[in-house]
Amino acid sequence: MIDYHLIGLSFVTVFLSELGDKSQLATIALSGRSQAPRAVFLGTATALIISSFIGVLAGGTIAEFLPTKLLKIIAALGFAFLAIKLLIFGEEGKK
């Protein structure tokens, strides 16, 4: 049975997280220079689908070995580390 709530939640999460990120800016730059915006769309959409598919496979595989709560803790710590790094180093960390 299809879980429409999970589909909607996944869509909203990825859609909002992808707004204004580097891949979207790269897509804008490519389509602005290109005479074939459909090709840019197909290429970037395919890349997002494949990277999401790899994430689902990796998540499913890892979830078989580690409890969900531990995965959430690891993800939270990773995001916290990145947030602290951005706050402390800001633009200085980019080279």
pTM over 0.85: no
* Domain that residue 55 falls in: 4-93
Nearest-angstrom CA–CA distance, 68 and 62: 9
Nearest to 55 by CA among 18, 82, 4, 25: 18
Segment 67-74 shows an average pLDDT of 89
In sequence order, which residues have a C-beta less than 8 Å from that of residue 41 and are 6 or more positions away? 31
The pLDDT, as a whole number, for residue 91 is: 62
How would residue 95 be classed by pLDDT, with cut points 50, 70 and 90?
Answer: low
pLDDT class of 94 with cuts at 50, 70, 90: low
Q: List, for residues 6-65, the tens digit of each pLDDT value.
A: 999 988 888 888 777 788 888 888 888 889 989 999 999 999 899 989 989 988 888 889
As for how many domains the chain has, the answer is 1
At 40, the amino acid letter reads V
- The pLDDT assigned to 81 comes to 92
